[in-house]
Chain A
Amino acid sequence: MNLVAVGLSHHTAPVEVREQLAMGPTGVPGLLQRLRDDAVGAEGVLLSTCNRVELYAVPSRGRSADDIADWLIHSTGNRTRGMGRHLFAYQQKDALRHVFRVASSLDSMIIGEPQIVGQMRDAYKVATTAHAAGPVMRRVMDRALHVAKRVRTETDIAREAVSVGRAGVELARQVLGSLKGRSALLIGAGAHGKLVATSLLGYGLGELVVANRTFERAADLARKFGGSAAHLDDIERHLDRVDVVVASTGAGRLLVTRAQMARVVRRRRYRSQVLLDLSVPRNIDPTINDLDGAYRFDVDDLREVAAQGQAKRRQAAQVAEGIVRDEVDRVWTQMQGEEHRAALAGIMRRAEAIRSAELARADKVLSNLSPKDRKAVEAMTRAIVKKVLHPAMQQGRAWAEEGDLVRLEAALLTLGVASTESE
């Protein structure tokens, strides 16, 4: 079996180089068709994201990984000099390992980020639709998605928050459960506040109200987020009904006081409310945290959650690397074994062809036989071939199953059958 992975990623090339190879989903089927038309690759899957452009392919006979890398540069219409030095090229087991690591988000800029699995699945779907994913790529991609699932379920790689925005979401979810259909009030237009609001909306927030000192600014931001605007003086009315409050202003004073919140929590019947104060100096009275039903966190809490998340992900990545290593060894051996089993089947086919040819040569002699006798001779010769080959086939299958491919290859060569004949 022959497998290569060529391309560039955030590890090997800056964004200005990556963007030159990047390709939208509409261009991919044509490129994969050209891969086969130009007889460079028999199968292929192209993954193009903001962090990587990678082609996983089964090269055509006589083609190498370097040939595919050159073809990729030229077929994307790229004429930039020195592009080649940004490209990586992995072959065989290393290529398989790379595909598994990418799918498991171990190669991502933010380890454990969830988008890559969806992007891999989309790339695979495009290749399947374009008839570019044959038996090898199907096997590789199916296993890659399976490994990604294992890594996500068996490790903590995606569980912990690693950014301030996601940390805010995690704290809100720890109190409120799902954020779907919940409402939030964003006070101010600070950078951290916008980050958290964006993350909250990404988790299904139902309504966002933006309050700011200048109403026009609030209206602008609300339009951007698809929410509504409010005056800063009017926030108590909104505090009564929203589940999350995010304060991020440069006001330099308390905008939400304890007395105000004491009234609010009573009116809310002590239903849980999360208050994220991302301002310095703080905008939400810290003593509000003592009130029943009110959970107040500041920017230090969010940073702590994010830092813990990063440490956890690093630990989880080590476990995930172990899973990938095991899976690569297992899948590679299996795939090699399958290929060799196919070669063994080739031996049987060749023997059958020889038997049929010999019978045809003896046709004159055998023509005197009755149909019944002729049938008996057919059965007898077939049985002889089978019985002669049986021990060799059995041993070959055992080697293939055990992964003892060196001995199997040697045996196949002796018999005059190459394992690549099955392609």
Chain B
Amino acid sequence: MVRGLDDRTVGAPLTRWIAIAAGAAYLVPLMGERVAPDNPRWTHPGWLFGGLGLHLVALLIDVALWGALPLSSMRFGLGALALWVIIGWAVLHRRPQMESLRRLLVGLALVLLGIAQVAPDSGGSADLSSPWFLAHVALILIGLGGLAVSFTLSVLWLLVRRRLKLKKLRGISRLPTLDTLDRLNYQAMALGFVSLTAGMAVGGMWAATHPEAALGADITIWGTLLLWCWYAVGLHTRLVSGWRGRLAAVFGVGGFVGLGAMVTVAGLVLQGWH
């Protein structure tokens, strides 16, 4: 169901405002911890769950306005990715000593949501009604969400390790253990990698039925392939050689930084199918 242009003209600012409200709800406990750490009202996880609800509402309104999954533009894609990162937090938040991880994940989601609000609404010329295309984009986004969580866990692993190595032990017991971070990083990376692989395969099948799409020259495809190889090597060294810890964290950080560079170049500078 595709609504008229008027609906979108009215609806798009509305969803932006709802997304901004969601971002504000995400921000409240982060600020609350600094301004009023002893007041549980400001640090209550309800703020994040409330923001998650608003975020979801914004995406659903987009679905209603655009008549398809809201994945066809950079704004929608980044918004959905931010939602995945917050869902990642919701999965992990009951584990002990995960406060610092929450801060990093929520920070990352806020950055993604912020970029999404200034990114253009218009998307590519893809056929949004094709289930192959939608499955491709959805799987890639789930994959990117997993890799975003892996990146956050990797950064936190490196920070905790640095504190232990430098003997900065004040309040160390509040941080997650290195082992927990390493294990969760592996799980998030494996989820991201499997989903990315499936998304790439589905995208390949879609492209095979659309010869008009000159995908050979699309930098995103080659970048994603490089990224896939990077994570494949990272997971391989862990599974086969048993290497973990710093190496796994470096793969998590390096991969996501590469991904960010690729998305920026492909999405903002170059124009193409992606």
A interface list, Cβ under 8 A from B: 159-161, 170-171, 173-178, 269-272, 289-290, 292-293, 295, 297, 301, 304-305, 308
Q: How long is the Cα–Cα vector from A175 to B242 in the complex, in angstroms? A: 17
Which chain A residues border B172 with CB–CB below 8 Å? 171, 174, 305
Contact B245 A160 (CB under 8 A): no
Among B165, B170, B175, contact of A289 (Cβ-Cβ < 8 Å):
B165
Contact B173 A159 (CB under 8 A): yes
Contact B164 A308 (CB under 8 A): no
Among B170, B177, B245, contact of A174 (Cβ-Cβ < 8 Å):
B177
Contact B177 A301 (CB under 8 A): no
Provide a sorted-by-A list of 5 A–B residue pairs whose CB atoms are within 8 angstroms.
A174-B172, A175-B177, A271-B244, A301-B167, A308-B171
Residue on A nearest B160 in the bound complex, by CB: A174
Q: Mark B232-257, 1 if CB is under 8 A from A, else 0.
A: 00000000011111110000000000
Which chain A residues border B164 with CB–CB below 8 Å? 171, 174-175, 295
Q: Which residues of chain B in 148-187 are interfacial with respect to chain A, using CB atoms and an 8 Å cutoff? A: 160, 164-165, 167, 169-173, 175, 177-180, 183
Beyond A171-B169, A174-B177, A175-B164, list 5 extra A-B contacts (CB 8 Å): A161-B173, A171-B164, A174-B173, A174-B178, A293-B245
Contact A301 B169 (CB under 8 A): yes
Which chain B residues border A159 with CB–CB below 8 Å? 173
Shortest distance from the beta carbon of B238 to any chain A beta carbon, whole Å:
9
Instruction: Given A160-B173, A175-B178, answer yes or no on A271-B167 (Cβ-Cβ < 8 Å).
Output: no
Which chain A residues border B247 with CB–CB below 8 Å? 270
Shortest distance from the beta carbon of A350 to any chain B beta carbon, whole Å:
47
Instruction: Given A177-B180, A289-B165, A295-B164, answer yes or no on A308-B242 (Cβ-Cβ < 8 Å).
Output: no
Which chain B residues border A161 with CB–CB below 8 Å? 173
Contact A270 B179 (CB under 8 A): no
Q: How long is the Cα–Cα vector from A190 to B166 in the complex, in angstroms? A: 26
Which chain B residues border A173 with CB–CB below 8 Å? 177
Shortest distance from the beta carbon of B156 to any chain A beta carbon, whole Å:
13
Contact B179 A176 (CB under 8 A): yes
Q: How many residues does chain B have at the interface if contact means C-beta atoms less than 8 Å apart?
A: 22
| Residue among A161, A171, A270, A289 having the largest count of chain B Cβ atoms under 10 Å | A270
Residue on B nearest A270 in the bound complex, by CB: B245
Which chain A residues border B183 with CB–CB below 8 Å? 177
Instruction: Given A175-B164, A270-B247, A295-B164, answer yes or no on A305-B169 (Cβ-Cβ < 8 Å).
Output: yes
Q: Which residues of chain B in 69-97 are interfacial with respect to chain A, using CB atoms and an 8 Å cutoff? A: none
Shortest distance from the beta carbon of B37 to any chain A beta carbon, whole Å:
12
Contact A170 B242 (CB under 8 A): no
Residue on B nearest A304 in the bound complex, by CB: B169
Instruction: Given A295-B165, A308-B169, answer yes or no on A176-B177 (Cβ-Cβ < 8 Å).
Output: yes
Contact B246 A269 (CB under 8 A): no
Residue on A nearest B164 in the bound complex, by CB: A295
Which chain B residues border A175 with CB–CB below 8 Å? 164, 177-179
Q: How long is the Cα–Cα vector from A174 to B179 in the complex, in angstroms? A: 8
Which chain B residues border A290 with CB–CB below 8 Å? 165
Contact B179 A269 (CB under 8 A): no
Q: How long is the Cα–Cα vector from A270 to B178 in the complex, in angstroms? A: 13
Shortest distance from the beta carbon of B3 to any chain A beta carbon, whole Å:
49
Shortest distance from the beta carbon of B169 to any chain A beta carbon, whole Å:
5
Which chain B residues border A301 with CB–CB below 8 Å? 167, 169
Q: How long is the Cα–Cα vector from A89 to B213 in the complex, in angstroms? A: 87
Q: How long is the Cα–Cα vector from A295 to B172 in the complex, in angstroms? A: 14
Residue on A nearest B182 in the bound complex, by CB: A272
Residue on B nearest A161 in the bound complex, by CB: B173
Which chain A residues border B173 with CB–CB below 8 Å? 159-161, 170, 174
Q: How long is the Cα–Cα vector from A272 to B160 in the complex, in angstroms? A: 13
Instruction: Given A289-B165, A297-B167, A305-B169, answer yes or no on A174-B242 (Cβ-Cβ < 8 Å).
Output: no
Q: How long is the Cα–Cα vector from A174 to B161 in the complex, in angstroms? A: 10
Which chain B residues border A174 with CB–CB below 8 Å? 160, 164, 172-173, 175, 177-178
Which chain B residues border A269 with CB–CB below 8 Å? 241-244
Instruction: Given A175-B164, A295-B165, A301-B167, answer yes or no on A270-B177 (Cβ-Cβ < 8 Å).
Output: no
Q: How long is the Cα–Cα vector from A293 to B165 in the complex, in angstroms? A: 10
Among A176, A292, A308, contact of B170 (Cβ-Cβ < 8 Å):
A308
Contact A177 B169 (CB under 8 A): no
Residue on A nearest B179 in the bound complex, by CB: A177
Instruction: Given A160-B173, A174-B172, A177-B177, answer yes or no on A270-B244 (Cβ-Cβ < 8 Å).
Output: yes
The 4 A-B pairs of least Cβ separation, nearest first, read A177-B179, A269-B242, A177-B177, A175-B178
Shortest distance from the beta carbon of B73 to any chain A beta carbon, whole Å:
42
Among A176, A270, A289, A305, contact of B243 (Cβ-Cβ < 8 Å):
A270
Shortest distance from the beta carbon of B118 to any chain A beta carbon, whole Å:
40
Shortest distance from the beta carbon of A149 to any chain B beta carbon, whole Å:
15
Among B160, B175, B180, B246, contact of A270 (Cβ-Cβ < 8 Å):
B246
Q: How long is the Cα–Cα vector from A161 to B241 in the complex, in angstroms? A: 36
Shortest distance from the beta carbon of B104 to any chain A beta carbon, whole Å:
18
Q: How long is the Cα–Cα vector from A297 to B274 in the complex, in angstroms? A: 51
Which chain A residues border B179 with CB–CB below 8 Å? 175-178, 272
Q: How long is the Cα–Cα vector from A297 to B179 in the complex, in angstroms? A: 18
Q: How long is the Cα–Cα vector from A271 to B135 in the complex, in angstroms? A: 38
Q: How long is the Cα–Cα vector from A161 to B169 in the complex, in angstroms? A: 12
Residue on A nearest B237 in the bound complex, by CB: A269
Which chain B residues border A292 with CB–CB below 8 Å? 245-246
Residue on A nearest B183 in the bound complex, by CB: A177
Residue on B nearest A289 in the bound complex, by CB: B165
Shortest distance from the beta carbon of B193 to any chain A beta carbon, whole Å:
21
Q: How long is the Cα–Cα vector from A161 to B171 in the complex, in angstroms? A: 11
Q: How long is the Cα–Cα vector from A176 to B183 in the complex, in angstroms? A: 11
Shortest distance from the beta carbon of B109 to any chain A beta carbon, whole Å:
26
Which chain B residues border A176 with CB–CB below 8 Å? 177-179
Residue on A nearest B243 in the bound complex, by CB: A269
Residue on B nearest A177 in the bound complex, by CB: B179
Q: How long is the Cα–Cα vector from A178 to B244 in the complex, in angstroms? A: 17
Q: Mark B98-130, 1 if CB is under 8 A from A, else 0.
A: 000000000000000000000000000000000
Which chain A residues border B180 with CB–CB below 8 Å? 177
Q: How long is the Cα–Cα vector from A305 to B243 in the complex, in angstroms? A: 30
